[in-house]
Structures are given as C-alpha cells and as structure tokens.
A and B are shown apart, each in its own frame.
Chain A
Amino acid sequence: MIAPDKKEMVNITLNGIEVEVPNGINAVEAAALHGKEVPHYCYHPKLSVAGNCRMCLVEMGTPMRDRASGEPILDEDGTPKIGWVPKPVIGCATNITPGMHLKTESDLVNECREGIMEFLLVNHPLDCPICDQAGECRLQEFATDYGRGYSRYVERKNVKPKRTRLGPRVTLDDERCILCSRCIRFSQEVAKDDVLGFVDRGSFSTLTCFPGKELANNYSLNTVDICPVGALTSTDFRFKMRVWFLKESKSVCTESSAGCNTLVSSREGTIQRITPRRNDQVNDTWMTDSGRELYKLVKAKSRIRRPSFQGSDLPLDDAISQAFEALKNKKIGVVASCHSSLEEQFLIKRLVEETGAKVFIRGHFGEDDGILLSADRTPNLRGALVAGLTNHYPSDHLNDLNESLADGHVDALLVMGEDLKESGVNEDHLKKVPLVFLGTHQNSTSDCAEVVLPGLTVFEKSGSLINRSFFLQSFDQAIPCPAGLMTDFKILARLIDLFSEDSIAPSELDQIWEALSSSGNSVLKGITFLKIKKGAIQLDESKWEHLSFVEKEALHYLPTGVIAS
C-alpha cells in the first residue's frame, strides 16, 4: 500500500464537532489529538495493526452521495446525510479520509466497550493484589473507565500456566494474557527475533516460545513494557515494588551512542527499574535489555564512594586540594572521556586551556546490532567533538599517551574514569607520575592513583549528551548521590579555580550553558539547558561530516555518508 501523506491536514467530524487532523492517521490517533480516548490493547503506534482486541470499536460514517449525480444527499434540515457503517469498526485499522464522521462516544460504542471488557475479564484471574502490573494495567484502567463494574460470570475460569520462563529476563503468566499479540509482533518486526507464538485454539490459546527457542534477545524486556496487562513480567523487577511508589525521572541511556530516552524509576533513593521513554526520532518506545541493567552500577561493589589520597580516605575538599598539589607545575596529561557529559567535557576543555595540559581521549567500540545498540559504546563521543576536546575521531587505545609518558612530555595525569592499562599504557609509566583519578568505579588506574575523586553515575547527576544522530539530549538526576560527594563538573570547576587566580569557573548547569552557548562554538549557540530539557535538539553536524563514525545504519539512524549519497 502507498503510505498516505501524513502532513496534509483534513477535516473530519468527531462526535459531531468538526476538527482538523492529519490525513491517513488512524481513528485512535486522530481522536487522541482532540482529547478523546479510544481505549485499545492490541494497537501500538510502533507496531503493525492486528485489530484483535476489538476494544477500539467506534462508529464510522461518510457523507452519502447520490450514485448517479455524485451530489451529496441532504437530510431534511439541509445537512449532508451521513451513511453510517452498520457495524462498529475498529479505530486502529480505520484510516482517516477527508470528511469522515467518527463517533467515539455513543450508546453503541459504550456498549461495545462494556462487552469487550467483560469478555476480557471472564477468564482473567483477577489477581491484581499480587500482580506486578497493578497500577499501570490497561485492564484495570479500562475496566474502571469503560466496564460495567460487576460480573455476570459464574462458570469456572480457564487454567493456564502461571509462571513460564520465556527467557533469561522475561517470565510469563499465561492466565493474565489477553492474547493481544503485541509481544509477538514486536519480536517479529522490531527485534527481528521471531520466537513467540500462540499454541492451542480459542480461549485456550496460550502464548509460548517455539520449541527449543527462548526469548533471549537484547530487546526482550520491551515485550514486558508493551504488554498491556501483567502477563509478561520482568524477572528482575517481578514482585519487587508497587509501581505507584516509584518516582520517575527522565534520563538517557549511556550504553551506546544510540542515546535511548529512558525513565528511571526509583524509590527512596534506590533505582528499581529503567524503562524506555518514547522519542520518535531516537528510540521510538524501545531500549536494550543491557541498557536497563546499568542501574546496577550504582550499587556495584567496585563503586568508588570515598575520596582518597595515597590510599586513605579524606574529605572531598581536601582531596581536591591534594589533586591540585599533585598536578601543579607539571606537564599535565588529561585523559578525557566520551562517557562524560557535555558539561563535564566543556570544563575539562576549560581546565586544559587554563593549565596548558595535553588532552588524550579514546573511544570504546563493539558490535553494532543495527537497532539501538550502536558500535560506539560511549554515550557522548560527539560531545567530545563539540566541546573541542579533539578534532580527530578517537581510536580505541591511548598509545599516544603511552609515548608522551615514555618521552617525558607528560609527567602528571588527570584521568576521567578510563582504564589506562587496558588502553595500552604501560603500567610502569603510570607508577612514575602523580595520577589523579576522577571516576565512578574502581579499575587498575584508580588502584595506582595518588588522588581518587569519586564521580557520580548518570543517575545521580544532571547534564546532557549528544547521540549518534547529533541529538543533544538532557538527563535528570534520579537519585541522590552518596553522602559527601558532588557532581563531577563541580569538582572540575573547583580544580580550575585552584589553577586560575583571576577567574571563577562556572559550576552550575545554567552558568555552564551560558558559557557554552556564547563561546563562539556555533553549533551550541542560543541553547540553554532548559531548552534541552524541553526536548532533544538536533545539532548541525556538518563540521564533523568528514570523520568516519563507526555506527552502522540502524533504527532512526543513517550514517552521514549514506545521507550524502
């Protein structure tokens, strides 16, 4: 079928009121644009239309025309006569055409919804008190909004498997399943891993994996997100927390340069889960399973929680002073990071300018899965380019640092979280020079550092990152940081202040952005942090087009060269 031009606006009549909607979108979306909810289960804006739940039944009609003359037929009062389709139609598969009439509120529609709700609940176990979905369950919501509120069912309910392990991360409760097939369509269409299907027939239909297969792909947890009921549950999150206790913060996944928009859900300072947040230009409504696990880094054993100097703990202020002492009057080498936020990278750049230090930066690369795990496994390599930390595309090692250390061009190091030994730097060189380490987790470099300054994870701070498509996106602090610590860019600002006698480095996001957007760095001109918080900003990437970025074509991403051709 030819995709209809979705930009053209047409008039339709929704519940008797003429409204304007884009041509060709479906009735569910059209009604939603004008504040009318059409309840649905199987329809998902990012999946193909299945039309099996029948919850979105609406009345549809078109103005009648005389067959011979083509003239509109008029009612007695002179208004065009509407030919209503005798049966209700499903909103999800009804595409808007100019002049269409829709009723999302009528006796027939209400009656349909009551009927479908009743049918969906007759074999539903109604085990909300022990169900993880309770509180964010479409069955609960629509039963309240559109159901009759009482049951006429006195027969026995069907019995199905209660806890099927579909894969390492997903557990299925078949009794709760309403057979909407969203998970099946997701596996086929988005994850491209067709492992789910129904067996048995009629009301005994049961969701299951094909024999010998399991739902183990890196996107399996998205099926849990899109399951409108409590059938597919995350094995990790299952029975852990009532969702209404969770505080949600907007964040960005730092797993790779895809920059999936996420919601970090926490309670009392502890993160319980990460779920994707819809962004039609970046990740639709998906994210990787591996990205959801990153919150575990917050409480990882190797987390650096205390500042230390030569192995013994000390207050952060003193540690910063020790760091200054260690670096003062030296030929400093700064190992910046593509994991740092743009704000941190900006202050690193400032520090470098202040001290005349040399910058070294490396990338981290892996396999590109063509969806949302890109080959660049850092969230902000493009930030390092925009901040001016490097003009070259970072390689996956720091051999040049190794040389500089060997020939004495660098005799002190400030390292932003990187593991130098793993990056090709000789351990003996590291032992000879004073080393200041600012990072979140312990590694072989922090082990041999003179001063260790604890950094914060992405969940404990705010900032912004630039993803593979040069979208500038902000993340919010989700949980408080460990006691006695502060955000990385404040530590950097303090350090800069110690080096410079006459100026004060910006140490708040607003101040940093004031400096960033007025520093003549044209791609960030006019941007404020508040603007980024309101929505991702597409930056002009032409300056870096000549670099050979490693990302392959993927969901919402075309390599620059591809666009050019």
Chain B
Amino acid sequence: MYKDPHQLIEGMMITAFAIGAKQAFIYIRAEFHEGARILERAISEAKKAGFCGNNILDSEYSCDLVVHRGAGAYICGEETGLIESLEGKRPNPRIKPPYFPAVLGLYQCPTIVNNVETLCNVRHIIGMGGEEFSKIGKPNNTGTRIWCVSGQVMKPGYYEFECGSLTLGQLIFDVCGGLRPGRSLKAVIPGGSSAKVLRADERFSGTLKDGTEFDWGLEDIPLDFDGPMAAGSMSGSGGIIVMDDTVDIVEAMANVNAFYAHESCGQCTPCREGSLWMRKISQRMCSGGAREEDADLLLSVAKQIEGRTICAFGEAAAWPTQSFVTKFKEDFIRKATDSPKERDPKSLQLI
C-alpha cells in the first residue's frame, strides 16, 4: 500500500468489474494517515489515467473508489463491523445469518469485503494468468506472503517470500539474524496475536491436506497457509511474534488479554464480559495475586467465549488464553506458588 498503492487500486478495479460493483471503498485506520494520503494521491492519479471512476478505459463501466478513514478500532477489521462503521455507526458486527455481506451488506446491498493482501494479489493473478501465478509458491499455497517478524530477534521487520519457500526456523535464524546472544527460543505466535502460540519444544505431527505425513519441530514449520494450520495454529495476518526464554509467559498472555479486552466492541455477552474477566485474572496473576486455580479458570472462561459470539472476535480473544495456558501450564502454576507479591515495575503497562 505504501510502496505500490496502484497494485491495490488495480486489483480493486478488476475485482469490482468482475462482480459488477458500482462503488468501492478502501477502509483504512485513521492512524495510518500517511497510507491514506498515499492512497488518495494514487486514486486521483488513477482517475486521471482513466483506470477508475467514470467510464474506465472507455469500457462504459464506472466504479468510484473512495478512501474511508476509520476512527481506529480492531473490530473494524471484522467485515460486518467494517460495514457498520462505513455506514457511520458503531462498528458492532452484524449477526450472520441473515447479514452475510454478499447478501445484505453495506446499506443492505450485496457487498464483498476483502483485505488489502487479497486484492493486491488479484492484479498479479490477472496480469500473469492463473496458471503462471500458481507456479509461485507451492500447490494450495500459491503466491507470496509478507511476514512481519517482531519480538526478540536481531533483525525484526517485514519480509516477503514465496509461500512455503522457507521454514519458521529459517526465517527466525537466517533471515532475521537469530535470537539475541545467549538466549534460547521459548515460543512463537505465528499469525498475529489471536493465533495460538507454539511452544519451542513442541512436536507437530499428522497428515497434510495432500496426504503427506509430517513430523515437525517448531523450526521445521513451513511458512505458507497450511503449515501453521497443520501445527494447530494459523498463519493469519502473517504477524510472527518471537519470544525467547526471558519472556514471562503469563505477562505475555496478560498483554494479549489486555488488548482484546480493550478492543472488544461490547455487543455480545461472552466476548464483552469474558475478555475483560480474562484480562482482570491475568492482570491479578501478574500483580502478585495469582492462585493455582487461575489456570483452569482462565481455560474455562475462554471456553465459554469460543464459538458463542456474534463474530470471530470471540475466538480471537479465547485462543491465545487457551493455548498459553494449555501449553505453558507450569508457568501459570509457578506464578501462583513462587512469584513475588508485586508486579515488576519494569513490566509493560497493560492497557
């Protein structure tokens, strides 16, 4: 979007033409004012060149494209929440059924909502032809992905690779320069904070979609769509969070929980109350009030959220807790038995 906004515009116009849309929107968080400015400039360039707006390339097909700046809420990433926000309302996700965007979307008109990554790919798929495009990456996992590595690696940053062309271990240790000296890997969240955490000493085995058996360590997980999925997590947004052995797992989870409690829209009961309850529990645990039963309580609360909410935010809020507590139960028990009664003043402030 920043470096090549026209691939997004082109992808969107091709998509809009394919579905016969008359109006297209780019919904962008208001915090990305730089991105919004770039896009607006690019759109006016595209309009001048006749690539969008009225009578595109003299084809008698018209589709307007508008940048809409949202006021900054995670839930606006949920497609029906985004639509509500676009209509000028609170971004409360809609119930499905009946409000599937393709049937009753923006202003109750059929609407297709896709993310930037998907639409950028459209331009290349059309440009290269589907067959040629599918040669990038590997079967079922075609194209490229941008992985955003953060956490305790020497060179965090954005890295674009062909799907499946390298493993998680290669990305962390070769591309990102490895961990800091003397540290060892503890855990990785492979696809944004809502993805289930993977433990460094875990083994992942099973059968892939194409029938091949696999038995991986954390570092062997291929970076594509199916790999993290097969390991019980997901490649999600591609945001890889690397944690070394200095990380307090309970603190890490408290941080994630604080985020989800802050971002829950508050519309439906399980997510609204559950996310805040989990935040309060984990915050207490980090502040010297941990109890041995808290681990099970967290699991139970998370289970009461998952699958019972209006939108997928419930899962996004429940999965981190579920995976952190299940996979690092000893850290949670230890927090209760032998941890100081006060929170380390140097710890990150929770939202």
A, B co-complexed: yes
| B264 lies within 8 A of A88 (CB) | no
> Are A201 and B266 in contact (CB-based, < 8 A)?
yes
A-chain residues with CB within 8 Å of residue B280 when the two chains form the complex: 155-156
Interface residue B222 (Cβ < 8 Å from any Cβ of A): no
Contact of A1 among B98, B269, B274 (CB under 8 A): B98
**From A180, which residue of chain B is reached at the shortest CB distance?**
B269
Q: Contacts A54-B269, A201-B265, A203-B261 known; A119 to B98 CB distance under 8 Å? A: no
In the complex with contacts A52-B267, A53-B269, A119-B277, A88-B308 CB distance below 8 A: yes
Tell me the chain B residues, 268-296 only, with Cβ under 8 Å from chain A: 268-270, 272-277, 280-281, 284
A230 within 8 A of B: no
Measured CB to CB, the closest approach of chain B to A201, in angstroms, equals 5
Kindly report which residue of chain A lies nearest to residue B306, judged by CB atoms. Answer: A87
Q: Which of A110-118, A324-332, A356-364 contacts B (4 or more CB under 8 A)?
A: A110-118
A387 CB within 8 Å of chain B: no
- Chain A nearest CB: distance from B102 CB in Å? 14
Given contacts A52-B269, A57-B308, A122-B277, 5 further A-B contacts (CB under 8 A): A112-B308, A119-B273, A119-B277, A179-B269, A202-B276
Interface centre among A112, A119, A200 (most CB of B within 10 A): A119
Question: Any chain A CB within 8 A of the CB of B208?
Answer: no
Known: A93-B97, A115-B304. A203 touches B272 (CB 8 A): yes
Which A residues lie at the B interface, using CB under 8 A?
A: 1, 49-55, 57, 86-88, 90, 93, 112, 115-116, 118-120, 122-123, 152-153, 155-156, 158, 178-179, 197-198, 200-205
CA distance A155 to B269 in the complex (A): 18
Residue on A with the closest CB to B291? A154
Q: List 21 A-B contacts (CB under 8 A).
A: A51-B95, A52-B92, A53-B269, A54-B310, A55-B269, A86-B307, A88-B308, A93-B97, A115-B304, A115-B308, A116-B270, A122-B273, A152-B300, A155-B277, A158-B276, A179-B272, A201-B262, A201-B263, A203-B272, A203-B276, A205-B272
Q: Which residues of A contact B284 (CB under 8 A)?
A: 155
Cα distance A55–B269 when bound, in Å?
Answer: 9
Q: Which residues of A contact B297 (CB under 8 A)?
A: 152
Q: Which residue of A lies closest to B284 (CB)?
A: A155
- Is B309 an interface residue when CB atoms closer than 8 A count as contact? yes
Q: A564 to B275, alpha carbons, bound, how many Å?
A: 57
Give the contacting residue for B268; candidates A53, A198, A204; CB below 8 A: A53
A201 near B264: Cβ-Cβ < 8 Å: yes
Bound Cα distance from A88 to B297, whole angstroms:
22
Task: Point out the residues of chain B lying under 8 angstroms from A205, CB to CB.
Answer: 266, 272
Let me know if A51 and B90 touch, CB within 8 A.
no
Nearest chain-B residue to A181 (Cβ)? B267
- Beta-carbon contact of B266 and A87 below 8 Å: no
Quick one: closest B residue to A53, CB to CB? B269
Known: A90-B95, A93-B95. A202 touches B308 (CB 8 A): no
- Chain A residues positioned under 8 Å from B98 (CB to CB): 1, 93
A214 shortest CB reach to chain B, Å: 20
Chain B residues closer than 8 Å to A153, beta-carbon distance: 277
CB distance from B322 to the nearest CB of A (A): 15
Residues from chain B with a CB closer than 8 A to the CB of A87 are 307-308
Expressed in whole angstroms, the Cα–Cα distance for A124 and B90 within the complex equals 24
How far does the alpha carbon of A44 sit from the alpha carbon of B286 in the complex, in Å? 42
A51-B80 Cα distance, complex, nearest whole Å: 14
Find chain A residues with CB under 8 A from B300 CB.
152
Across the interface, do B273 and A155 meet the contact criterion of CB distance under 8 Å?
no
- Asked if residues A88 and B276 are in contact (CB atoms below 8 Å), the reply is no
Chain A residues within an 8 Å CB radius of B97:
93
Cα distance A86–B315 in the bound complex, in angstroms: 14
Asked if A52 contacts B304 (CB within 8 A), the reply is: no
A152 to B273, CA, bound (A): 13
Q: Separation in Å of the B300 CB from the closest CB of chain A?
A: 8
Cα–Cα distance between A201 and B71 once the two chains are bound (Å): 13
**CB-nearest residue of chain B relative to A1?**
B98
Looking at the assembled complex, report how far the CB atom of A374 sits from the nearest CB atom of chain B, in whole angstroms.
33
**Would A54 and B273 count as touching, CB distance under 8 A?**
no
Closest to B266 in A: A205
6 nearest A-B residue pairs (beta carbon) = A115-B304, A119-B273, A205-B266, A155-B280, A51-B95, A203-B276
B269 touches A202 (CB 8 A): no
- How many angstroms between the C-alpha atoms of A528 and B90 in the bound complex? 54
Min Cβ gap B261→A in Å is: 6
A155 to B191, CA, bound (A): 31
Report A-chain residues with C-beta under 8 Å of the C-beta of B267: 52, 179
With a cutoff of 8 Å between Cβ atoms, the chain B residues found around residue A119 in the complex are 269-270, 272-274, 277, 304
Alpha-carbon gap, A423 to B276, bound state (A): 64
Q: When the two chains form the complex, which single residue of B266, B304, B307, B309 contacts A179, counting CB atoms closer than 8 Å?
A: B266
**Per-residue contact bits, chain B 12-33, to A (CB 8 Å; 1 contact, 0 not):** 0000000000000000000000
Which B residues from 56 to 95 make CB contacts under 8 A with A?
Answer: 73, 90, 92, 95
Residues of A within 8 A of B95 (CB): 49-51, 90, 93
Can you list, as one digit per residue, whether each of B232-268 has a CB less than 8 Å from chain A (1) or not (0)?
A: 0000000000000000000000000000011111111
CA of A30 to CA of B98 in the docked complex: distance in angstroms? 18
Compute how far the CA of A553 lies from the CA of B198 in the bound complex, rounded to whole angstroms. 64
Residues of B within 8 A of A112 (CB): 308
Q: Which of B263, B270, B281 contacts A202 (CB 8 A)?
A: B263
**Cβ-neighbour of A54 out of B104, B270, B281 (below 8 A):** B270
Contacts of B274 in A (CB 8 A): 119
Bound-state Cα–Cα, A50 to B310, Å: 10
How far apart are the CA atoms of A120 and B271 in the complex, in Å? 11
CA distance A119 to B273 in the complex (A): 5
Given A54-B308, A155-B284, A198-B90: A116 and B269 within 8 A (CB)? Answer: yes
Evaluate contact between B266 and A203: CB separation under 8 angstroms: yes
In the bound complex, residues from chain B placing their C-beta under 8 Å from that of A203 are 261, 264, 266, 272-273, 275-276
Task: List, in ascending order, chain B residues with CB within 8 A of A201's CB.
Answer: 73, 262-266
Closest Cβ neighbor of B296 among chain A residues: A152
CB of B316 to closest CB in A, whole Å: 13
Tell me which residues across on chain B come within 8 A of A122, comparing CB atoms: 273, 277
- Chain A residues with CB below 8 A from B261, complex form: 202-203
Question: Inside 8 A of A202's CB, which chain B residues have their CB?
Answer: 261-266, 272, 275-276
Chain B residue nearest to A157 (CB atoms) is B280
Contact A54 B309 (CB under 8 A): yes
Using Cβ atoms and an 8 Å threshold, which residues of chain A touch B262? Answer: 201-202
Q: Closest CB-CB distance, A319 to chain B, in whole Å?
A: 62
Between B92, B277, B308, the greatest number of chain A beta carbons within 10 A of the residue's beta carbon is seen for B308
B264 touches A123 (CB 8 A): no
CA separation between A55 and B297, bound complex, in Å? Answer: 21
Task: Write the B93-114 contact mask toward A (1 if CB under 8 angstroms, else 0).
Answer: 0010110000010000000000
Which residues of B lie under 8 Å from residue A55 when comparing CB positions?
A: 269
Instruction: Kindly report which residue of chain A lies nearest to residue B104, judged by CB atoms.
Output: A1
- Complex: chain B residue closest to A158, CB-CB: B276
Contacts of B309 in A (CB 8 A): 54
Q: How far is the CB of A314 from chain B (nearest CB, A)?
A: 65
**A54 CA to B309 CA, complexed, in Å:** 7
Given contacts A90-B95, A155-B281, A202-B263, contact A51 B268 (CB under 8 A): yes
Chain B residue nearest to A205 in the complex (CB) = B266
- Determine the distance from Cα of A200 to Cα of B300 in the docked complex, in whole angstroms: 27
Once A51-B95, A198-B90 are accepted as A-B contacts, the answer to whether A116 and B264 lie under 8 Å apart by CB is no
Chain A minimum-CB-distance residue to B294? A154
A475 to B284, CA, bound (A): 59
